[in-house]
Amino acid sequence: MILLLLSIALLLALIILVRLNAFMALIISTLFVGLAKGMMPVDLIKSIQNGIGSTLSGLVMVLAFGVILGSILAETGAAQVIAQRLLRVFGPTRANWAILCTGFVVGIAMFYNAGFVVLAPLVFTINAVSGQPLVPLAISMAAPLSVTHGFLPPHPGATAVANLFGADLGRTLLLGLAIAIPSILVAGVFFPSFLKNIPAKPPAGLFQVKEIDPAALPGFPKSLLVALTPVVLMAFSTVVDLNFPQANESFAWLKFAGDPGITMLVSVCLGLLLLGRNPLSPNPNYQKASALLEKSSAAMGAGASLLLVVAAGGAFKQVLVDSGIGKELAAQLTDAPVSPLILGWSIATLLRIAVGSATVAGMTAAGIVQPLVANGSASPELMTLVVGAGSLMCSHVNDTGFWMFKEWFGLSLRDTFRSWTLMETIIGVMGLLGALLINVLGGG
């Protein structure tokens, strides 16, 4: 724990006092923690490379095509059309509810990173149209995405933990929804009301909100179709994956189309066809598809720096995993005389703090406490939920999600801690309390 705290202190000092950029500071801190833990230099370099590679492999296509899609939605006014319709339904004073409900629907179907990239343009646009502060809106978007990622099948992490415990997926989903709804309300509605004065300075060129002549705006159905195409494709692919054998080759193309990177590419192509001027949309007010792609280049440049920081965060996380720090800390808790549910949550929390990755923390904690479920000491469904809740706790500098939120919305480290980190902690605590209450009432 001391070594972990020293590495975090070094990282903060390099960024705040030395004024190094986040990418360099993360790599230096990663080298420090690996060498201090006694990793061989060759193994340390390989761990860093694996961390960068594993992080980018699942993120590059999603982020790159997501930035292009966001640029298309902004340049054509599609984001403006969707934002205006949402505000018409919810009202400008309840803009946070609009983005919260949208985030929950999107979060059920999409991975966190993909959902974040899809919804970020809407957050910027609703901020511009409604005048509501940016950071509270961003938290109202991120809270339901995090909750669905941590608590609810069919998300990979929750599903994998449930399968390890032998939990019923349908029952886990129902109990998860009972916990998720109050967690989202507290973290996504009540908590953001305290964040109105946090300044945000998004990277220049990442997303430019434009005022467009109403005559040149695309229709709402087209705009919504382009924005929700990734959601629909991923949801359909997930349903197929859950209900049909994985060995069935006839569904291979459906699973291929549901890959997050592919869904974003399909949505970009659809956006160019339906929102750009071409034979399928001859409206002379629309911009040419080539012009839209050219304008997205500036946004891609801003997204590249964000990607580097997230990759370095992945390297930091991987070295913490490979050095064994997380498992050593978790082992200290296994004999603690506490409730099995609290024990599972505590181990997942400690692993989350140590290694950063929610998925790694959840799966490792599940392996440690699985004997408690096997001998009947705890409900497999409730254990799945508390492990998921613990895996969201205390997100900080070794979590790629922390850096995505910070860089995308242009926050200082201090403000990221008191917005993003506190939001994740609220969700984790609410998840534990909800599971304990269900257990006391006999619902587990």
Higher pLDDT, 207 or 276: 276
- 113: closest CA among 188, 58, 50? 58
Could you tell me the pLDDT band of residue 343, with boundaries at 50, 70 and 90?
Answer: confident
Q: And the tokens for 344?
A: 């599972």
- 265: closest CA among 300, 230, 231, 312? 230
**248 within domain boundaries:** yes
Each residue of 307-331: pLDDT tens digit?
787 788 778 878 877 887 767 766 6
| Average pLDDT of the residues in 193-216 | 76
Domain count, the chain: 1
**390 within domain boundaries:** no
**80 within domain boundaries:** yes
DSSP string, 40-81: -HHHHHHHHHHHHHHHHHTTHHHHHHHHHHHHHHHHHTHHHH
DSSP string, 101-115: HHHHHHHHHS-HHHH
Residue 385 in this model has a pLDDT that exceeds 80: yes
Higher pLDDT, 290 or 359: 359
Residue 350 in this model has a pLDDT that exceeds 60: yes
**362 within domain boundaries:** no
Higher pLDDT, 133 or 363: 133
Residue numbers of the domain that contains 91 = 60-152+173-305
pLDDT for the residue 192: 93
Residue 103 in this model has a pLDDT that exceeds 90: no
Residue 250 in this model has a pLDDT that exceeds 70: no
- 274: closest CA among 217, 207, 212? 217
- Across 96-110, 178-192, 216-230, 244-258, which has the greatest mean pLDDT? 178-192
- 151: closest CA among 438, 437, 432, 443? 432
Could you tell me the pLDDT band of residue 162, with boundaries at 50, 70 and 90?
Answer: confident
pLDDT for the residue 189: 93
Higher pLDDT, 394 or 59: 394
- Across 19-28, 184-193, 198-207, 296-305, which has the greatest mean pLDDT? 184-193
Distance (Å, whole) CA 419 – CA 291: 37
Each residue of 64-94: pLDDT tens digit?
787 788 778 777 878 778 878 888 888 888 8
**257 within domain boundaries:** yes
Residue 277 in this model has a pLDDT that exceeds 70: no
Q: Are 142 and 113 in contact (CB under 8 A)?
A: no
Could you tell me the pLDDT band of residue 444, with boundaries at 50, 70 and 90?
Answer: low
pLDDT for the residue 210: 62
| Average pLDDT of the residues in 415-431 | 95
Could you tell me the pLDDT band of residue 353, with boundaries at 50, 70 and 90?
Answer: confident
Could you tell me the pLDDT band of residue 302, with boundaries at 50, 70 and 90?
Answer: low
Q: Are 366 and 165 in contact (CB under 8 A)?
A: yes
- In sequence order, the β-bridge partners of residue 281 are 278
Distance (Å, whole) CA 187 – CA 423: 6
Could you tell me the pLDDT band of residue 433, with boundaries at 50, 70 and 90?
Answer: very high
**334 within domain boundaries:** no
Each residue of 107-154: pLDDT tens digit?
776 667 777 877 888 888 888 888 889 999 999 999 998 998 888 876
Higher pLDDT, 210 or 292: 292
Higher pLDDT, 3 or 192: 192
Residue 279 in this model has a pLDDT that exceeds 70: no
Could you tell me the pLDDT band of residue 49, with boundaries at 50, 70 and 90?
Answer: very high
Sign of CA dihedral 209, 205, 414, 400: positive
Sign of CA dihedral 144, 147, 151, 155: positive
| Average pLDDT of the residues in 177-196 | 92
Average pLDDT along the chain: 81
**214 within domain boundaries:** yes
pLDDT for the residue 414: 92
| Average pLDDT of the residues in 275-303 | 64
Q: Give the number of other Cβ atoms within 10 Å of residue 2's Cβ.
A: 7
Higher pLDDT, 287 or 114: 114
Instruction: Report H helices in 202-247.
Output: 220-243
**96 within domain boundaries:** yes
Distance (Å, whole) CA 88 – CA 228: 19
- In sequence order, the β-bridge partners of residue 288 are 277
Q: Are 395 and 352 in contact (CB under 8 A)?
A: yes
Whether the upstream peptide bond of residue 154 has omega within 30° of 0, thus cis, is yes
Residue 282 in this model has a pLDDT that exceeds 70: no
pLDDT for the residue 72: 80
pLDDT for the residue 401: 86
Q: And the tokens for 73?
A: 């939605």
Higher pLDDT, 417 or 237: 417
